[in-house]
Amino acid sequence: MILRLLFRLLKWALAVGLLAFGVMLGLLCLWESRIPKDPAGDYDAIVVLGAQVYPSGDPSPQLALRLEAAKRAWDRRNVPVVVCGAKGVNEPEAEALVMKAALASLGIPEQGILTDAESFNTRENLLNAGKLLAPLPGVRRLLVVTSDYHAPRALALARDAGWTAEALGSPCKPEFWLKNHFRETLAWFKYLAVKYLRLPLNS
């Protein structure tokens, strides 16, 4: 009898979990659809969030697309740029350093690129970027550049940190869509747990 009750509770918990996941995935797709794909509006600085760097030292396709979007944004407004990302497993150096070199090769002056090579997650990205930008006069509005599926949560974290911010989304490669959206949906649950339940989790 007890085992049967536990089995029913497990089935209900699984059903509720799947329903919650589906709702969150649907919301993510809705929020993502509202993220601009081209730079617009006013911004005083650009923050580019990191992604995988290959062992060869080359940016991954996803990171390359973020850098191209950042360059378009900088062409529109020549403002300071912050690149964020520490050295991950199997990466030859910090993502931020690779990103700075790539943006410089695209034509953005190196002296206008600030590097945060210490952050390992989105929350740290935005906090460290804020510290780098704080001494600069007149920087109040951020443009956060990242992949489209990641942009809604990054934007939420930037606003949580006290910035007036908008996001610019680079496209997600179709072959990575399912994996990236699955992980990002889970990341939203963690974000909500940290923000509203005060759980000591990174995000």
| pLDDT, mean of residues 70-93 | 97
Q: How confident is the model at residue 84 (pLDDT cuts 50, 70, 90)?
A: very high
Model pTM? 0.92
Whether residue 203 has pLDDT greater than 60: no
For 28, 82, 114, 135, 162, the CA distances from 127, given in Å and listed in that order, are 23, 12, 14, 14, 10
Q: How confident is the model at residue 4 (pLDDT cuts 50, 70, 90)?
A: confident
Tell me, what's the pLDDT at 151? Answer: 98
Tell me, what's the pLDDT at 31? Answer: 97
Tell me, what's the pLDDT at 199? Answer: 76
Give strand pairing partners of 53. 59
pLDDT digits (tens, 9 = 90+) for 116-166: 999 999 999 999 999 999 999 999 999 999 999 999 999 999 999 999 999
Structure token digits, residue 130: 């804020």
Q: What one-character DSSP code corresponds to residue 114?
A: E
Q: Is 167 exposed, middle or buried (0-12, 13-18, 19+ CB in 10 A)?
A: buried
The 3-state secondary structure of 18-74 reads HHHHHHHHHHHHHHHHCCCCCCCCCCCEEEEECCCECCCCCECHHHHHHHHHHHHHH
If phi > 0 it is left, if psi is from -120 to 50 it is alpha, else beta; for residue 198 that is left
Give strand pairing partners of 193. none
Tell me, what's the pLDDT at 200? Answer: 76
Whether residue 19 has pLDDT greater than 90: yes
Tell me, what's the pLDDT at 35? Answer: 96
Instruction: Read off φ and ψ for residue 56, nearest 5 degrees.
Output: -70, -15
Cα 127 from Cα 161, distance rounded (Å): 7
Cβ neighbours for 178, distance < 8 A, ≥ 6 positions apart: none
Summary mean pLDDT of the chain: 94
Cα 147 from Cα 153, distance rounded (Å): 11
Cα 200 from Cα 85, distance rounded (Å): 21
Structure token digits, residue 61: 């396709």
Tell me, what's the pLDDT at 201? Answer: 66
In the CATH scheme, what is the code of domain 35-197? 3.40.50.620
